[in-house]
Amino acid sequence: MRVSGLFEKKAGKPVISFEFSRPKTDKAAANLDKALVLLKAAEPDYVSVTFGAGGSTREGSFQLVDKLKNEKGFEVVAYVASVGLAPGDLVESLDRFKALGMETIFAIRGDAPTWDESYKPHPEALSYASELVSFIKERHDFCVGAAGYPEGHLEAESKDKDLEYLKLKQDQGAEYIVAQYFYDNQYYFDFVDRARAAGVTVPIVPGVMPIYTVKLMENLARLCGATITDPIREGLAKLDPEEKGAVGRFGIEFATEQCRGLLKQGVPGLHFYTMNRGKGVSTIVQTLRDEGLL
């Protein structure tokens, strides 16, 4: 499945996607299996599998892609992160994904693993995702997607420069963009306006990250630079700390409301970061369907 073709096929209806990562333990694999039952019933247009930037964990990505596509029957997009890979490993990874039936690759640079202080990017690795997009396009007929940053990428020289490089990814062949998550829709709307003004014409799909726990929210936001907004801080402060599941329920309500606002503005899709959990995203999607928004 080519994601570019999905936008055409759905003719203006939002393309719904769920993101997963390789489970690192047997227990995590069992939990993912449970989540997959709920999320299969939510009928996404496709699911996607992240790629460990260290490079050495890529076997787990191949296995999860294979399982989701060939055992569980999902349409799948594989991610490739270039930072940990020599050109030969990159070619091998692309060939493996081709052999597993992938038609779309999401091309990212990747980040150094936070838990490994000794980590160094591969000395021969490509420097930027735009180079990866053209590397892929030169070798395979994959549809290629790339990442965009409504609040600007943490390392960007400026938001304008960041957009220049986003446009470069499109110029090298990226056919759609998935945006990093945000907790205020205005970041996304402003980003799309600026991207259009900079010549980016491909669909820009908003990323949605439900709040699962406060700790996870704080950690992820620190890593990717997402602003934790006042309505979130105020909403969380009102919760009873003794009430089991209160944060998860708040997270579902907050993300559902965010999605309503996005869908009402006619976004091309919704990309959910599931963190390999089933309940939150399946509840959000079901609510939006019941309300006739999907």
Ligand X SMILES: Cc1cc2nc3c(=O)[nH]c(=O)nc-3n(C[C@H](O)[C@H](O)[C@H](O)COP(=O)(O)OP(=O)(O)OC[C@H]3O[C@@H](n4cnc5c(N)ncnc54)[C@H](O)[C@@H]3O)c2cc1C
Interface ranges with ligand X (CB under 6 A)? 50-51, 53, 79, 81, 108-111, 128-130, 147, 153, 155-156, 161-162, 165, 178, 180, 207
Q: How far is the CB of 97 from ligand X (least distance, A)?
A: 13
Q: How far is the CB of 79 from ligand X (least distance, A)?
A: 4
Q: Measuring CA to CA, which residue among 263, 260, 253, 213 is closest to residue 231?
A: 253
Q: Which is nearer to ligand X, 165 or 189 (CB)?
A: 165
Separation of alpha carbons 237 and 77, rounded Å: 38
The answer to whether 19 is a known catalytic residue is yes
Specify which residues 81 forms β-bridges with: 108
Q: Which is nearer to ligand X, 106 or 212 (CB)?
A: 106
> Could you please report the per-residue DSSP string of 124-163?
TS-SSHHHHHHHHHHH---EEEEEE-TT--TT-S-HHHHH
Q: How far is the CB of 49 from ligand X (least distance, A)?
A: 8
Tokens of 32: 């993912």
Separation of alpha carbons 68 and 76, rounded Å: 7
Q: Which is nearer to ligand X, 198 or 246 (CB)?
A: 198
Could you tell me where the beta strands, DSSP code E, fall in 232-286?
Answer: 269-273
Q: Which is nearer to ligand X, 147 or 285 (CB)?
A: 147
Separation of alpha carbons 67 and 147, rounded Å: 25
Q: How far is the CB of 66 from ligand X (least distance, A)?
A: 17
Q: Which is nearer to ligand X, 206 or 247 (CB)?
A: 206
Backbone φ/ψ region at 204: left (φ over 0), alpha (ψ -120 to 50), beta:
beta
Q: Measuring CA to CA, which residue among 135, 3, 19 is closest to residue 82?
A: 135
Residue among 19, 103, 151, 175 flagged as catalytic: 19
Q: Which is nearer to ligand X, 121 or 280 (CB)?
A: 121
Separation of alpha carbons 141 and 120, rounded Å: 31
Q: How far is the CB of 110 from ligand X (least distance, A)?
A: 3
3-state secondary structure of 179: strand
Could you tell me where the beta strands, DSSP code E, fall in 109-257?
Answer: 143-148, 176-181, 204-208
Q: How far is the CB of 169 from ligand X (least distance, A)?
A: 6
- Give the pairing of strands 76-81 and 204-208: unpaired
- What positions carry a catalytic annotation? 19
